[in-house]
Amino acid sequence: MGVGRKSLKGSFTLEAAMLSGLWLLTVFASLLLILGVHQRIYDTGKAYEAVIRRGTQAVCGTAEETVEQEEFWTAEDKEKIQVTFRNQLEIPFSDLKWIQEGRAERKIIRPVLFIEKVNAAGRLADNLMP
């Protein structure tokens, strides 16, 4: 080698070693994001399934006793059913936690009562029209 040239031997290895931490952080953050979004979609689906099941039971009059899971709560009145969930994902770095909350609602529509109201309104309109 010439006197004025510096040796670049091993420089790529050193740069790759310095960037490997950044690559690992990116990979693990992406995996955590994918797992968190998957869990959120799964919990939201379960909440909507519970709302639909409870709404069907309310319309049919079958009050079936169901065992609720720890992360789901159901609020029910005569007009609507509401299922909420709260999930906590543990992030294995510095005791971080990702708290996910969601809610699913459904208004109870009783078809027979609705049809009776529509028919009554039609009869009232017919009586008022000369």
pTM reported for the whole predicted model: 0.61
The closest alpha carbon to 72, from 106, 46, 35, belongs to 46
pLDDT band at 106 (very low <50, low <70, confident <90, very high): confident
Predicted confidence (pLDDT) at residue 67 exceeds the cutoff of 50:
no
The predicted pLDDT at position 26 comes to 92
Q: Which of 7-11, 60-64, 115-119 has the highest mean pLDDT?
A: 115-119
Cα 36 off chain centre by? 10
- What is each CA distance from 57 to 63, 70, 109, 111, 117, in whole angstroms? 6, 21, 12, 13, 22
Q: How many residues does the chain have?
A: 130
Q: Which CATH architecture best describes the domain 32-128? A: Sandwich (2.60)
For residues 97 and 88, the answer to whether their CB atoms sit within 8 Å is yes
DSSP category for residue 122: H
Predicted confidence (pLDDT) at residue 55 exceeds the cutoff of 90:
no
The predicted pLDDT at position 41 comes to 92
Sequence spans of domains, the chain: 32-128
Minimum mean pLDDT range among 23-37, 62-76, 110-124: 62-76
